[in-house]
Structure 1
């Protein structure tokens, strides 16, 4: 059985989508959800599926306590799905090429510190982009600079608000993220 741990900071809709995608899978399983936000809806979502949540603060992320919990679970893949903190180099070094992230834009555009969620969608709208998309990439020591795994695009010429862009991006995330995770774990990437 291949094991996934998920990291999220907020609502957790991508986390729930991934959990549901692998729920009846005989070869891949979600074994834990980590969050830095004790009020995040992702905790409730994980609980509803019988998956243990680990709540931590920034210090525990940096001082090795989170790495210890991850090691206890022995994951084959660590998935950042709406996780807003910079991932520590100590964990990246311990799990090389086994940590992936989804970004709500076509990197390298609209990436870096502070570029997440609605911040990205507002910037895309303000720059009058005709298309945007998602980038799924490996995590390295720099925000949004890890090797790309895949990008998917969507036309946004008819979008007049950042919320409309966010809705289109959410659809792409829901469609593609679980499939890419499965392909990585089955060595298709």
Structure 2
């Protein structure tokens, strides 16, 4: 009798604060995979579009408040029950609490829309990053996928991809270039990290 393909499926949990296009891309990528799947999406904003995207794709969608993340351990307890192999931050705006970092060492990754260590830190997210890069007349930008630690954007970098910036680029056109890199590379790097955990 053959073993069901879902028996040893790796579990991914995604945290997001906004629209959730990256989260949706990741969910769809792993719906085609027999090795892993997104089992839940968490958001700190009740109105975040990411919750509807998850619900529409039949993925558990959970909203939580600041107290549930930082004080009551509610989020930690749910994560312990889910026992994810990887926690993925895809546009999540709050710093991750120490209790979750300790419980899931080396299992929490984030994507940042710039080439770290440049343009990282508190307040450096989304269009804020792209505006700063264009204002400083940078010649290139890109994405950084990194492990999460107790500080914004300071964990070990796992992967970077670059794109050139032309004189005609605006923050909006740069954002479009960055999104393409995110959609292409983020699911692939998540898959590679999960495969490494198998070895």
TM-score (norm 2): 0.93
Task: Return closer, same or farther for 1:155/1:71 CA change in 2, 3 Å cut-off.
Answer: same
1:66 equivalent to 2:60? Answer: no
Counterpart position of 2:145? 136
1:159: Cα distance to partner?
3.9
Structure 1 residue matching 2:106: 3-state secondary structure:
coil
Give 2:27's aligned residue.
Answer: 19
Q: 2 CA distance for matches of 1:158 and 1:181?
A: 33
C-alpha contact 1:3 1:30 (8 A) present in aligned 2: yes
Runs of 4+ off more than 2 Å:
none
Q: Unpaired segments of 5 or more residues in structure 2?
A: 1-8
Q: CA deviation at 1:27?
A: 1.3
Contact 1:86/1:143 (<8 A) preserved: yes
Q: What are the equivalent positions in structure 2 for 1:134-173 lying under 5 Å apart?
A: 134-173=143-182
Aligned to 2:65: 57
Larger radius of gyration: 2
Aligned residue pairs, count: 189
1:107 to 107, 116, 125: 116
For the aligned residue pairs, the C-alpha RMSD in angstroms reads 1.2
Separation in structure 2 between the aligned mates of residue 22 and residue 34 of structure 1, nearest angstrom: 17
Which one is further off, 103-112 or 156-165? Answer: 156-165
**Structure 1: where are the runs of 5+ without partners?**
none
- C-alpha distance in 1, partners of 2:104/2:46? 25
Query: Deviation digits for residues 107-130 of structure 1, max 9, x if unmatched?
Result: 000000000000000000000001
